[in-house]
Amino acid sequence: MDKQQLIDCHQRIKPFIHDTPVLNSRLINKMGNASFYFKCENFQRMGAFKMRGAANAILQLTDEQKQNGVVTHSSGNFAQALSLAAQSLGVKAHIVMPKSAPEVKKEAVRGYGGILTECESTLHAREQATERIIEKHGTTFIHPSNDDQVILGQGTACMELLELYPDLDYVFTPVGGGGLIAGTALAAHYFGKNCKTIGGEPFEVDDAYRSLQSGKIEINASTNTVADGLKTQLGDKNFPIIQKHVEEIVRVSEQEIVSSMRIIWERLKIVCEPSSAVALAACFNKKELLSGKKVGIIISGGNVDLSKLPY
């Protein structure tokens, strides 16, 4: 994927997304001994960066594919993103979600016009349910993170950040399925001035960290983390980009995630979900590296179940 594809993607999706604000805090700068610029995708339509990739993926379909609709399987934010993007473009969206997904996210999918199918909480069950929908309706499957058009869409958040602050030294993102960090790394490579991309990942789901070490896609034995949006694994489309353009993955503890989430709520006065706080937690773990530097942080989303706050 090249620079022009990112530019074209951004132009294509602009009518369907928000150009989200960038915030900073003198206190957080002091805590991390760096200048932090928070790209607030919690203010994106449907509350997360995933609206970008979903909109781009649908816009790139043929008329026949749009007629038959789209389908994805997702435990949360991409389910909402595809539902809203499809509704905005007059396309039907079938969404497969595990029964264990937060009720607030299921309700949002229905509210955005998504046709919800619930399944057991395993990848096999998700894939089976998705296949049945494809066979019945002829829908096009759009993967939440392992899709070239989705990756390009997610990279536009970093593009907007670099338009405002072109001299960033680093950009940090959380790492789940790999779509956001892959898109961000491409944007930093093409539009930054020697801007490096670093990912944050919970110790409890550190498949991306281990994948960079081993050179092949690793899986997680458990997914016991408060960062519910980061339980998915890398794919064959985003992993090569991550290998080539991501500087490193920094692992953080559950306590560090909760502490960083609280700092964002208290100091930036915004709502972010635990997955978003992983990026700031990773910054605090790299204070020596970041000392005196300009650091972008992608706040990935703000879809929180307020009845289950971790503090």
Query: What are 110-148's pLDDT values in tens digits?
Result: 999 999 999 998 878 989 999 999 999 999 999 999 999
| Structure-token pair, residue 131 | 């296949």
Residues 246 and 189 sit within 8 Å (Cβ to Cβ) = no
- Among residues 75, 83, 88, 275, the one annotated as catalytic is 75
For the stretch 256-276, pLDDT in tens is: 999 999 999 999 999 999 999
Q: Looking at the predicted structure, is the pLDDT value of residue 102 above 80?
A: no
Domains present along the chain, CATH in parentheses = 3-49+147-308 (3.40.50.1100), 51-141 (3.40.50.1100)
pTM confidence score: 0.95
Q: What pLDDT shows up at residue 74?
A: 87
Rounded CA separation 103/109 (Å): 10
- Among residues 35, 39, 50, 92, the one annotated as catalytic is 50
Of 176, 182, 181, the closest CA to residue 77 belongs to 176
Tell me the H-state helices in 265-307: 274-285, 287-290
Q: For strand 93-98 and strand 70-73, is the pairing parallel, antiparallel, or unpaired?
A: parallel
Q: What pLDDT shows up at residue 304?
A: 86
DSSP state of 34: S
231 is catalytic: no
50 is catalytic: yes
